[in-house]
Amino acid sequence: MGSTAPSRRTAKRSKSRSKPRAAALRIAVQKPDDEKLAQLREAHRRGKVVLFVGAGISMGLGLPPWSALIEHMARELGIDAHSFGDKGGYLTLAEYFRLRHGSIGPLRSWMDREWHSGDVRVESSRIHELLAKGRFPIIYTTNYDRWLETAFEHHKVKYTKIVSVADLAKLHPGVTQIIKFHGDLEDDASIVLDESSYFARLDFESPLDIKLRADVLGRSVVFIGYSLADVNIRYLFYKLSRLWKQSVPDVAQPVSYLFSPSANEVQQAVLAQWGIEMIPLARDDPSKALIEFLEAVVG
């Protein structure tokens, strides 16, 4: 009499075949998309990648988190750092700080001291080494600190720092440009931190914004060190997409990429409409995940 139940031998054979498939699935989830990486490696090889570097890169050096800056502002203003939400966000708090102190200078000085302590060893940062030695002709950073520039100096790689329109005269062929898109701690007036400066940045009409439009034409943009929850950087994603469509509406926009230490299908779908592909690489340590990603791109 026949039976629908599999024999022991068949069941054993089926079980043995299922294990490799499950293991392969786990590996596929943990590895970045090979096709996307291949495209990105080729763009990097041809010098066609514009890099955007966010705060997550500096955090890997052990710098104080953004919350420390907010708590410092609140203390200086006599406000409870954990309950100032009804008074506005950190942009409003920074605006109030500027109004109370007459300038952002004291806050800029505090950031400079806190973020450039003698305990930081950028020379031991594999991430900064890869950034300095990679073939990235143009690097935009929204970080105020100087650790990216310091890494280039340590690894003896030439660069030109761009903070204002006056710096554009210093550009040299073949020398990496580091554009401090939200300002530099050596120049109070350049810092984008309070509401007024941030709203001015949203106009996207400054000389640096015009340069950005030109820089992204025909190039892929790669974002590292950014939080997907940061609405500021999400607005930048949206704006870059609009700039491309307005500038060259009949030409396909080069694919841009955002590295993420975790997968997120919701964010992936939203970013895709702006021409940005997520490359997730799940690891327990986000810094190690980023190193693995950069090594795969830079080689």
pLDDT at residue 27 is higher than 50: no
- Find out whether 172 and 153 touch, Cβ atoms under 8 Å: no
pLDDT tens digit string along 111-133? 999 999 888 899 999 999 999 99
pLDDT for the residue 31: 52
pLDDT for the residue 32: 53
pLDDT tens digit string along 157-202? 999 999 998 999 999 999 999 999 999 999 998 999 999 998 887 7
pLDDT > 90 in the chain, percent: 42
Instruction: State the average pLDDT for the chain.
Output: 83
Note the maximum CA span of the chain: 93
Q: Which positions ≥6 away from 153 have C-beta within 8 Å?
A: none
- Rounded to an integer, what is the distance from CA 182 to the centroid of its chain? 13
pLDDT > 70 in the chain, percent: 87
- Find out whether 281 and 292 touch, Cβ atoms under 8 Å: yes
pLDDT at residue 16 is higher than 70: no
pLDDT for the residue 259: 92
Instruction: Give the pair of three-digit tokens for residue 16.
Output: 């043995």
- Find out whether 259 and 221 touch, Cβ atoms under 8 Å: no
The pLDDT of 234-263, averaged and rounded, is: 80
Q: Report how far residue 153's alpha carbon sits from residue 28's, in angstroms, rounded to the nearest whole number.
A: 38
Write the single-letter amino acid at 154.
H
pLDDT tens digit string along 210-232? 888 888 878 889 999 987 777 77
Choice between 195 and 82, residue whose per-residue pLDDT is larger: 195
